[in-house]
Chains A and B, each alone.
Chain A
Amino acid sequence: MAEIMYWEAIQRAHDEEMARDPLVICMGEDIGVAGGTYKATKGLYEKYGPLRVMDTPISENGYTGLGVGASFLGVKPIIEIMSVNFAWLAMDQIFNSAAKVRYMSGGQLTAPVVVRSAGGAAHQLGAQHSARMEKVFMGIAGLRVVTPSNPKQAYGLLKSAVRSPDPVYINEHELMYNMKGEVPDEEYFHPLEGSEVARSGTDVTLFGYNISVHWCLKAAEILAKQYNISAEVVDLYSLSPLDRAGIKKSVAKTHKAVIAEEDEAPVGVGSEIMAIINEECFWELDAPPVRVHSALVPQPYAHNLEKATIPDHEDVVKAVLKLFGKA
């Protein structure tokens, strides 16, 4: 197993899939000659040429729709939307075309596109470049939503997404492209559904996905060392469908739950997980679950305000302590 970066893992998945199948293409702004904003498509233009590594015009809805149309005829486009903030412009084609065409055609036509985008707050990018949109995508019938928390998942989820007969939205994070992690040397396909226990524990479950998995892991470390609390961390890499059984299993074991997300509430990912806990295992709970989420505010620019908006591991620790009556 080699240690590689998150962006390298994504690049490797592209490269392998494009080498295997001449109908796999990738498209997006600055992905070709320029190598990609986050280097996720580095070197592919040189290798596969402009017909398969398409530098698109700045027309999010247009090129997303073009990818969807190409997928009708068996082409497998991996579409990069430079930043999730711009995905709003492509929403018509994602929501109205890609996600619905299988259903409204009675199963005759499918749009097996992969749409990848970088979301989340980076460093002081302000109101129009810091959005989290996973909560929007996960409410769309006909669309799969996955979100890798490490390079192994970034590689394996993209591999599986390319092979999926369904449209898949992959939610990446601007701050994670340089994160290092072990990725199997051999070909690896991560399941598109389910969840993973990232750390086993007995006293409380910390639910996270993507970047918040890392807040949870760090919080679990602190809780173990300083407070003698054994926290289990569950990584919800699939946001649609959510792993109801996995959520239930962990809560039934620990009887307490904290949900951490960078999305804002109300109407966040945590709202949905809390609803699932209610529906699946309410009577297993020893205490009401707690959500950790961003403030409902257009992302402020000032460093201190930004910090106050976005939660981190300390907020997770605080939430757990509150749950245990220690705060």
Chain B
Amino acid sequence: MKLKDRKRVLREMVLARRFEERCYQAYIERKIGGFLHLYPGQEACCYGVMEAARPGFDYVITGYRDHVHAIKCGADPKAVMAELYGKETGCSKGRGGSMHIFDVEHRFMGGYALVGGPFPLAAGMAKAIQMKGGDEIAICFLGDSANNQGSFHETMNMAALWKLPVLFVCENNLYGIGTALERSTAVVDQYKRVCAYGIESDVCDGQDIEVVLEHAHKAVEHVRSRKGPYFLELKTYRYRGHSMSDSRGYRSREEEEQWKQRDPINMLRDRMIVEDKYTLAEFEAMEKEIDGYIENEVIKFAEESPDPKVEELTKYVLAD
């Protein structure tokens, strides 16, 4: 990556990290309710793939761990935070919550809470793209354990059968909640599972954004040039619990420490220090600036925004 892009994406990943850490705090303060699934540790997956794709142009869909994907597509962090606060100014008008972030204007087509639910939705968007003849692709980000749903197999079959322009990104963080992949899944290498449907696939390190980017370029190019669907597995790790009530008893602190040695933000930062004369001072100043932005703008906006009106409880159930 060029220095300019490295700097930009480093900043974006730091924003994502600090945003999520601030959500954690707001949850403890009971400002955010419900289930809250945080993204720290996995940033290189979303940012690497979306650097290769066209955010705001390609259609993106994912599960419940969705704040960062929305922001990368172009959602305003203020509107995302307001959504978590259940405010009318939230991107889903306070009707969705953490697991249902939507920003259709930026073609972020939503967070969905049923594991495996987005697979066929992504294929359907690809079907629409195919019919309408645009240059877009559909991108579906889901976890590893979602691949044990029937919807995964049903969708892979249809996507391959109809050569749909859809990229499936599997963010393999080794666990489905607290169940290690090898305890739930007969074939642990997820990229191998789609060969039964004749879908091209690839696997790579999901912690080094420049590695992700390289593999994602190939994946995106494959789908955009209408060669059919593609499946990209990224090996990654989430630092925090699955959701907020998770003491992580199913994995060791040593394992967590090992993964943190390969932190996506630190890796890129350190490479920039070695290769680009980037300095730690620059990085720390950026972090500070981002924290200020989150506190003074994002949190402030969410705090000060009005609640949805109770009189509008049933608005959006059906079309007016």
Binding site for B on A (CB under 8 A): 22-23, 25, 51-52, 54, 56-57, 59, 61-75, 92-93, 96-97, 101-110, 141-142, 144, 164-166
CB-CB nearest in chain A for B138: A69
15 sampled A-B residue pairs with Cβ under 8 A = A52-B131, A65-B121, A65-B155, A70-B128, A70-B131, A104-B102, A105-B92, A105-B110, A105-B316, A106-B90, A106-B92, A106-B95, A106-B96, A108-B103, A109-B102
Within the complex, the shortest CB–CB distance from A297 to chain B, in Å, comes to 29
A142 cross-chain contacts in B, Cβ below 8 A: 317-318
Q: Which of B61, B109, B161, B318 contacts A166 (CB 8 A)?
A: B318
Q: Is B78 an interface residue (CB 8 A)?
A: no
Contact A69 B125 (CB under 8 A): yes
- Those 4 A-B pairs whose CB atoms lie nearest each other, nearest first: A69-B124, A65-B120, A62-B154, A106-B93
Q: Which residues of A contact B93 (CB under 8 A)?
A: 106-107
Tell me the nearest residue of chain B to A75, going by C-beta. Answer: B128
Size class of B's contact patch? 35 or more
Asked whether A105 lies within 8 Å of B104 as measured between CB atoms, the reply is yes
**Bound state CA distance, A61 and B158, in angstroms?**
12
Q: Is B305 an interface residue (CB 8 A)?
A: no
Query: B residues within 8 A CB of A54?
Result: 162
Which one of B15-23, B111-119, B225-233 is at the interface?
A: B111-119
Count how many pairs of residues, one from A and one from B, have CB atoms less than 8 Å apart in the complex: 156
Taking CB atoms, residues of chain A closer than 8 Å to B114 are 92, 96-97
Cβ < 8 Å to A, chain B residues 165-220: none
Q: Which residue of A lies closest to B101 (CB)?
A: A105
A64-B316 contact, Cβ under 8 Å, with A106-B93, A109-B110:
no
CB distance from B306 to the nearest CB of A (A): 14
Instruction: Tell me which residues across on chain A come within 8 A of B112, comparing CB atoms.
Output: 96-97
* Interchain CB contact under 8 A, A105 and B123: no
Complex CA–CA separation, A92 to B95 (angstroms): 20
Q: Which of A66, A103, A107, A166 contacts B120 (CB 8 A)?
A: A66
User: Which residues of B approach A to under 8 Å, CB–CB?
Assistant: 59, 61, 90-97, 100, 102-105, 109-110, 112-114, 117, 119-132, 138, 150-151, 154-155, 157-158, 161-162, 315-319
Q: How far is the CA of A54 from the CA of B131 in the complex (A)?
A: 13
From B125, B151, B315, B318, name the one whose CB has the most chain A CB atoms within 10 angstroms. Answer: B318
Contact (Cβ within 8 A) A68 B120: yes
CB-CB nearest in chain B for A141: B317
**Measured CA separation A124–B80 after assembly (Å):** 54
Give B122's nearest chain A residue, CB to CB: A69
Please indicate the chain A residues that have their CB under 8 angstroms from the CB of B125 in the complex: 69-70, 72-73
Q: A64-B120, A73-B128, A97-B117 are in contact. Are A109 and B151 (CB under 8 A)?
A: no
Closest to B103 in A: A108
8 more CB-based (< 8 A) A-B contacts, given A72-B125, A104-B110: A61-B120, A65-B120, A70-B131, A75-B131, A93-B121, A97-B121, A103-B316, A110-B319
- Note all chain B residues with C-beta closer than 8 A to A64: 120
Q: Which residue of A lies closest to B318 (CB)?
A: A166
Q: A62-B158, A75-B131 are in contact. Are A105 and B102 (CB under 8 A)?
A: yes
Q: Is the CB of A69 within 8 A of B127?
A: yes
Which residue of chain A is the closest to B92 with respect to CB atoms?
A: A106
With A62-B120, A106-B316 known to touch, is A69 a contact of B158 (CB < 8 Å)? no
